[in-house]
A and B are shown apart, each in its own frame.
Chain A
Amino acid sequence: MTSYQLDDDGVVVIIGSGAGGGTLANELAQRGIEVVLLEAGKHLTADDFVNDEWGGYEMLSWLDKRTSSGTWRVAKDHPLTPSWSCQVVGGTTTHWSACCYRFIEDELRARTVYGEVPGTSLIDWPITLADLDPYYDLAEAKMGVTRTNGLPGLPANNNFKVMYAGAKALGLNVSTGRHAINSVPYDGRPATIQDGFTITGDKTGSRWSTLNVEIPRGLATGKLELRSSARAVQIEHDGAGKASAVVYVDAAGVTHRQKARAVVLAGNCVESSRLLLHSKSGRFPDGLANGYGHVGRHYLRHLIQTVWSVFDKPVHMHRGEIMGGMIDDFVRHDPARGFAGGYYIEMNSMGLPTTAAFMDPGWWGRDFASVIEQYANMAGIFMSGEDMPQAGNRVTLTDEVDAYGVPVANIHYDDHPNDLKMRVHGYKTLTSIHKAAGAKRSVEAPAYPASHNLGSNRMSARPEDGVLDGNARAWEVPNLFIADGSNFATGGACNPTLTIVALAIRQADFIAGQMSAGEL
């Protein structure tokens, strides 16, 4: 096993081993660059995972306290867990449902295409689809995304048959979609056995994750050292204002200081913004890279919601891959709909435990009971839509500190009128699809804790509009990078992981190029 010294200032230190950090670690190691990968969580294996919704949640989730405020319903339903990510080697790629869709060109030019939307802080991305497309190609190949590179789509399951029947009756464009889940054996990993538990860790390895693909390959190069149960608490800089070390606490509670040639934050939105805000100094009094005050701001979490419907006959939606269905008719921005941006419709299924918990938190009594006891006859359909960036929707630090001495984060989110219009449009569409398939009753479930966390350290074309340049490098700290969804300039509509991975591969090229040129 490769092991670097704490005072080795030639290593790139990456904080977080999920889609962005785990991919970047491997990509840098493949280019011969020495990397220390810090992960706050444990190094679990497929054998540790369980086919159990609550068991998996408790094993994988980042459960440290957070607080929430604002008009979003999550602040009422899940006040101390407003955002959901994982604390484990592999990060949130141990949990995800593997939907892999690309941003469309218009989404990368949101400010130009949508025009001025009052109350928002919309900008265009500093990069274009032409910049991203080659990296989407690489990401899809490494992840084994279905319907790319000759790989077949996932087969239709019971829940999809319902979605298909309804969508076809309404003339919508429906397929099982594109997923980083093997429909056939690929890249040494087996085809799915349709166990239905992709979000509690993947026991068979049919789904791509950084745990089962990127990190082992990075380690095999001899250039990557993984330190698990290593909780980063501060980023330090030198007299020239460059990031110089990461302070972290190991499983025994011992504090270490790892020197660094460059530092990459990839801890998901909340933790990456929190670490920057906490890393204050005389030179950076409001937190690292926060000279323009954008760190933590413009937080996005997508317009996520589900409709659960009850049918006369059994569906058994829990059988098989959970999100193998997609409708893309509403993705493009269409001013005639009365709101900016678009949304994907996707299939959704959950087991009985989480269907009951998230269908409408707080709902009880005979009506609820009459719905949930028909679980076997229920189908689920879901949307992921673009929410509007607002400067006041943000991650901040509270006065309370955690066990590591770092302030607990608060997440503030107010719904924008555009969000409400899109949510209403989406609920109508989702319900109409199920009605067209014969639904007896449809229940509009609200958003659950945010899992598409985006935008709180955004890229921008001008330093005064964001935190990062087009390579997700901090405007103010030339050897500090971000490789998680917090670097998104706007949210787009699609599930973000594919784009996080594509951006990480692109960033690896940039970092390697800078190093070769003696610039980093």
Chain B
Amino acid sequence: MSAITAHKDPKLPPAVQLPEGPDWVNSLTLFDAHVAETLVAVVRTLYPHEGLPERVYRRTVFQFDTMAAKAPGAAQTFAELIDLLDGATSLPFIELTESYRVRALKGIEESTAFRLVQRSAVRFLYDDIEVWQAFGYEGASVQLGGYVNRGFNDLDWLPDPPPGV
């Protein structure tokens, strides 16, 4: 993609570092491995970006776990989602291939559980700095002097408007 470098505001905490491999689930407070891996599969089915590594989706589920640990209502809703999806066919959701996963998710689209997970997935996945980097969003800039000298008007494939327009 483009030659950009993404930055989070320096006042914000850095992105969580999860272990590579199946041990990542040990970083979670509430979710067990089945719930966590099922949620990773859900988020990947909702927002399938071939170029993004598994750790990005895992970090999103880590955020779900943090939400659930803080709010019992949210924890219950995540549990409901897993029950709905595992009950949708004779196989657990995690065992399904993409077309069946999509069908299972479409079947529960109107549920509160789906809504919470879908909205939370958007909220956290696209706020991940590795996703920003991959899709060309540079993020925080004030600590670098903004974009005034860093390309705020560098588009060169259309004619420049006249000065003062």
**Residues of chain A having any CB pair with chain B under 8 Å:** 50-55, 152-153, 155-158, 160-162, 164-165, 174-176, 192-197, 203-204, 312-316, 318-320, 351-353, 355-357, 361-362, 364-366, 368-369, 372-377, 437-438
Contacts and interface: CB of A to CB of B under 8 A. Distances in A.
A356 B141 contact: no
Contacts of B148: 192-194, 320
B136 A375 contact: yes
B109 to A, nearest CB: 8
For the complex of A and B, the 7 pairs showing the least CB-CB separation, nearest first, are A376-B136, A193-B146, A51-B140, A320-B152, A352-B137, A195-B146, A356-B126
Per DSSP, are chain B's interface residues mostly helix, strand or loop, or mixed? loop
Contact of B127 (A315, A318, A353): A353
Contacts of A176: 165
A197 B129 CA distance: 17
A366 B50 CA distance: 10
Given A50-B12, A155-B153, A314-B155, A376 B126 contact: no
Given A319-B151, A356-B122, A55 B145 contact: no
B165 A320 contact: no
Contact of B155 (A50, A161, A318): A161
Given A197-B142, A369-B49, A165 B158 contact: yes
A157 B152 contact: yes
A352 B135 contact: yes
Contacts of A376: 1-2, 4, 135-137
Bin the interface of chain B by size.
35 or more
Nearest to B154: A158
B161 A161 contact: yes
B32 interface: no
A156 B153 contact: yes
A51 B139 CA distance: 7
A157 B147 CA distance: 10
A366 B46 CA distance: 8
Interface string B1-35: 11010001101100000000000000000000000
A165 B159 contact: yes
A160 B151 contact: no
Contacts of B102: 365
A64 B164 CA distance: 43
B127 A51 contact: no
B76 to A, nearest CB: 18
Given A155-B153, A316-B136, 10 more contacts: A51-B139, A52-B140, A153-B164, A165-B158, A175-B165, A192-B146, A320-B148, A356-B122, A364-B118, A373-B134
| Candidate in B141, B147, B155 with the most chain A CB atoms within 10 angstroms | B155
A377 B48 CA distance: 19
Contacts of A352: 126, 131-132, 135, 137
A196 B146 CA distance: 7
Contacts of A203: 142
Contacts of A51: 9, 139-143
B96 to A, nearest CB: 15
Given A158-B152, A364-B46, A195 B135 contact: no
A362 B125 CA distance: 15
A503 to B, nearest CB: 31
